[in-house]
Amino acid sequence: KIQVQNHLNRLNKPPVKTIQSPDGDIIDCVHISHQPAFDHPFLKDHKVQMRPSYHPEGLFDENKVSDTDTEKPKQRSNSITQLWHINGKCPQGTIPIRRTKEEDVLRASSVKRYGKKKHRAIPQPRSADPDLTNESGHQHAIAYVEGDKYYGAKATINVWEPKIQQPNEFSLSQLWILGGSFGEDLNSIEAGWQVSPDLYGDNNTRLFTYWTSDAYQATGCYNLLCSGFIQINSEIAMGASISPVSAYRNSQYDISILVWKDPKEGHWWMQFGNDYVLGYWPSFLFSYLADSASMIEWGGEVVNSEPDGHHTSTQMGSGRFPEEGFGKSSYFRNIQVVDDSNNLKAPKGLGTFTEQSKLL
């Protein structure tokens, strides 16, 4: 109990203002210089960079698709937001942080593991033995590129609220920026949306990020649940619910996520939609990613906790197969990578991978 309380005191910084979200979340507006990132010994004297030195070129050239293409999702970037906004916003100079409650920490296997991924579950497209990749119960359907140096990635991701069978399972759609081999020293930056009852205590679809520099062993965490990511944005809260979400044969909503390496400072920045630069992961957190990424992945992941070849009914995306098309099947669109000249480009030599194609 004392351990949990100490951890909560570390995570929940004194707020300037508090906003109650309709979904039961408490959003604390915390002064930008008091956020969890600054608990990191290397960040004691860090001067917050309030904007990236450079944005990737070609950022707003959305793929030119003719207007006669009826399948094209309508741009609804304005209407997607976060649920807590209904009850207020954070003042300038603060950042919104989802408050961690005692029950959140108690759901984790230990105080130390709270906010961290349980397994080193990362899709390994080239792994020789597909059975091994299934052992952790994590299953993926991804597109990927490798064989070059990558300085960022972008995607527009259709947002759904997949059904989760058991509280210890989750479902997500995200992009991965990976450096190094798939060994003990893997570097990863991840961002997207997830439904994770274990982490959040409900089945809402939430914006999330993750990072690690040692293949999920000791470093890194979700959102702002450890020191690392430095947030500068006062409007978007990591881990908060996204609203509205898509419905089958009904309105479709999507979010755009861009993560790129600032060529001047070397930090990895994240942008949500066209308007929200959220913040950055300082380059010193990483070994391989301090230089560049060697692989980019886009796709979905679910946890299947059923033993002996049985499969969970937890859905990935909308839970529908791709051939059902727009409005029924979940999509990624406008996927791009950032090259060494800081240009956004369509990925070359895209591969795809899934452990169990019949199911996903």
Q: CA 227 to CA 10: how far, in whole Å?
A: 10
Question: Which one of 169, 297, 301, 355 is the catalytic residue?
Answer: 301
* Per-residue model confidence (pLDDT) at position 251: 94
Are 182 and 289 contacting, i.e. CB atoms less than 8 angstroms apart? no
DSSP 8-state code for residue 308: T
Question: Which one of 190, 297, 306, 355 is the catalytic residue?
Answer: 190
- Can 355 be counted among the known catalytic residues? no
Q: Residue 197 is encoded by which pair of tokens?
A: 């009852």
Q: Residue 335 is encoded by which pair of tokens?
A: 């996927």
- Can 190 be counted among the known catalytic residues? yes
* Per-residue model confidence (pLDDT) at position 58: 83
For the chain, which residues score pLDDT lower than 50? 63-78, 128-133, 360
Q: CA 322 to CA 30: how far, in whole Å?
A: 42
* Per-residue model confidence (pLDDT) at position 59: 67
Residue 5 is inside which H or E element, if any? helix 2-11
Backbone angle region of 292, left / alpha / beta, with phi > 0 → left and psi within -120 to 50 → alpha: beta
Q: Where are the beta strands (DSSP E) in 199-323?
A: 206-212, 221-222, 230-231, 242-243, 254-261, 268-272, 276-281, 293-303
Are 157 and 121 contacting, i.e. CB atoms less than 8 angstroms apart? no
**Peptide bond connecting 347 to the previous residue in cis, omega within 30 degrees of 0:** no
Q: Residue 164 is encoded by which pair of tokens?
A: 């989760």
Q: CA 321 to CA 335: how far, in whole Å?
A: 20
Q: CA 71 to CA 57: how far, in whole Å?
A: 27
CB atoms within 10 A of CB 267: 19
* Exposure letters 192-208 (e unless 16+ CB within 10 A, then b): bbbbbbbbbeeebbbbb
* Per-residue model confidence (pLDDT) at position 61: 55
Q: Got the DSSP string for 18-84? A: EEE-TTS-EEEEEEGGGSGGGGSGGGTTPPPP-S-S-PPBTTT------TT-TTSPP--TTT-EEGG
* Per-residue model confidence (pLDDT) at position 68: 37
SS3 content of the chain, % helix, strand, coil (to 5): 15, 30, 55
Nearest in space to 119 (alpha carbons), one of 201, 210, 180: 210
Exposed, middle or buried by CB within 10 Å (0-12, 13-18, 19+), for 289? buried
